[in-house]
Amino acid sequence: MKKIIIIWFLAVMAICAQDMRRNSFASLFADQKAVQIGDAVTILVVESSQASNNAETSTGRQSSIGLNGSLQAGKSPGTSLEGSLGTTNDFSGTGSTKTTGLVRTKISATVDSVLSNGNLHIQGSRKIVINGEEQNVKIKGIVRTSDILSDNSILSYNISEAEIVFEGSGLIDNAQKPGWITKFLHWLF
């Protein structure tokens, strides 16, 4: 009887045997990381950019021409002739540019494809509408599975070929744009 129970138990286990990778999400010991197409990953967008540029130019040019002469004929008092010509050209210019940007948000993305080397191509978007103001956040790029943290999240600076787009539309966005008359005048001048 014991042999029949053991054989029956082994037969049931063989029939129910499943791929470990497919069921790793149910394991108490495995991390729940995105590894295949359709899996979701949380992206922590922490982008900070800063740029500055300074330029200073100074040029100078100076030239001068002079002529002196004296003429005396006989005993008459001397006639004197003097002349001078000079030019000066100076230019001085300075310029400065400074740009600073900071973006922080969380967004979920899904795995679009798995590359031959095991890296994941991810893509995600989020649309937020508050009081008629619409914000769209889009992100895509390539992620190494080793960069995915144990909570299935990844920092945005670990995404290669990352494209992060923030777009907004609504009353505030429209108020910041110049009108069509102003655009026309800028086009003319």
Position 127 in a domain: yes
Mean pLDDT, residues 40-63 = 79
The parent domain of residue 147 ranges over 30-52+98-172
Q: Is residue 141 part of a domain?
A: yes
Question: Has residue 114 got a pLDDT over 80?
Answer: yes
71 has a pLDDT exceeding 70: no
Per the model's pLDDT, the better-predicted residue between 16 and 129 turns out to be 129
Whether the CB-CB separation of 128 and 135 falls below 8 Å is answered with yes
What are the backbone dihedrals phi and psi of residue 51, each rounded to the nearest 5 degrees, phi first? -145, 145
Rounded alpha-carbon distances, angstroms, from residue 148 to 21, 41, 47, 186: 17, 8, 18, 48
In a domain? residue 65: no
pLDDT at 104: 84
Within a domain: 187: no
Predicted pLDDT at 45: 87
- Residue 135 in domain: yes
Average pLDDT over every residue of 114-126: 92
> In this predicted structure, which of 45-54, 74-83, 103-112, 178-187 has the lowest mean pLDDT?
74-83
In a domain, 58, yes or no: no
Count of structural domains within the chain = 1
> Who has greater pLDDT, 118 or 88?
118
Which pLDDT value is given to residue 57?
75
| 142 has a pLDDT exceeding 80 | yes
The average pLDDT across 26-33 equals 62
Dihedral sign from CA coordinates of 145, 149, 154, 158: negative
* Structural domain contains residue 45: yes
pLDDT at 121: 95
Cα separation, 21 vs 19, whole angstroms: 6
Whether residue 18 lies inside any domain: the answer is no
pLDDT over 60 (residue 2): yes
